[in-house]
Amino acid sequence: MPNSTPADKATRHDWRVEEIEALFQLPFLDLLYRAQCVHRAHFDPNQIQVSQLLSIKTGACPEDCGYCPQSARHAGEVAREPLLDVEQVVAQARAAQASGANRFCMGAAWRTPSPRDFPKVLEMVRRVGELGMESCVTLGMLTPEQARQLKAAGLDYYNHNLDTSPEFYGEVITTRTFDDRIETLHHVREAGLKVCCGGIVGMGESRRDRAGLIAALANLPVHPESVPVNRLIRVEGTPLADAADLDELEFVRTIAVARIVLPGSHVRLSAGRESMSDALQTLCFLAGANSIFSGEKLLTAGNAAPGADSDLFARLGLTLTGSGERRCAEPDRATA
């Protein structure tokens, strides 16, 4: 059985896809052992961070992301809803806080923020911050000035997923490029915001593509503080509605490899939890996932019931964390 190595304990930004593929190919129990060793070196293994997500503007998105029912280009587009009022959003944030969430995430189906509506989003960010919660938004592509305005309003995190590997990206999305996403992440970092960035698996990509996604995340100048790993939710009317199911153990492998390669990041078990058994979720936690989205709904899809989460956490002895701090203070600039 392979032991943990010095590379497990250092934050690297020079991962080759072939190295990450080799991690995927480890015997399953060896891989989980290695991931758990890395996890324990950086985090309390019995704590979990909880975020709640709200769609503040739904549908009518001009992008063609093959997985997304909010695209105006797909037959399965969800009902369109305008931007919510600030007070509605604040009320939802208060409810999320009362249920144990310490981060409130707001998503709008835009290619880039609407100039008319952006000031309202800035006010939402300010008001959520006044509650003492961390805030996160996902609004599409940003300009440098928009990123600076969000920072000035008190935003903590900006979510902008890479979705998949650079090589597979064009099979899923054609209306914006992989480099467009990297550019927005650059603007976000330059503004001093923390980054929430991950991807989706089960879209028909190969294992090499899953390794390529993790490599792209790891080789950013600074690792994302949060890395959501989504399992595709197949929605009727979208191009990926008939995608084949991803093997459950392959999904756990993806979590474990992300934990090893991104040692100081919170790895979030995100979309797809509604259909996961308690046993599968537990394997994901063992593999290094230490964050979830709570609430009965994500942006448009269903999510695991809050009561079910509380029950599972109690059975596993997991406690909620409000700090989001690493267990050991290792800077995200070291290379091995």
197 given a catalytic annotation: no
How does 150-170 read in b/e, with b if 16+ C-beta sit within 10 Å? bbebebbbbbbbbbbbbebbe
Which of 34, 103, 127, 136 is an active site residue? Answer: 136
65 given a catalytic annotation: yes
How many angstroms separate the first and last alpha carbons of the chain?
22
- Quote the tokens at residue 90: 């604040």
Give the 3-state secondary structure of residue 179.
Answer: helix
The dihedrals phi and psi of 56, each to the nearest 5 degrees, come to -95, -15
Counting runs of H as helices and runs of E as strands, what totals does the chain give?
A: 10, 10
Which of 61, 197, 210, 326 is an active site residue? Answer: 61
CA 26 to CA 320: how far, in whole Å? 31
The answer to whether 40 and 328 are in contact (CB under 8 A) is no
Which of 103, 181, 231, 268 is an active site residue? Answer: 268
- Quote the tokens at residue 299: 């942006």
The dihedrals phi and psi of 183, each to the nearest 5 degrees, come to -65, -45
In a 10 Å sphere around its CB, with 0-12 CB exposed, 13-18 middle and 19+ buried, how is residue 189 labelled?
middle
- DSSP for 183-227, written as a single string: HHHHHHHHTT-EEE--EEE-SS--HHHHHHHHHHHHTSSS--SEE
**Radius of gyration for the alpha carbons in the chain, expressed in angstroms and rounded:** 19
116 given a catalytic annotation: no
Which of 103, 127, 196, 253 is an active site residue? Answer: 196
Which of 65, 181, 253, 259 is an active site residue? Answer: 65
CA 236 to CA 104: how far, in whole Å? 28
105 given a catalytic annotation: yes
Quickly list H helices, the chain. Answer: 17-24, 28-42, 86-98, 118-130, 144-152, 178-190, 207-218, 248-261, 278-286, 306-316
196 given a catalytic annotation: yes
- Catalytic amino acids? 61, 65, 68, 105, 136, 196, 268
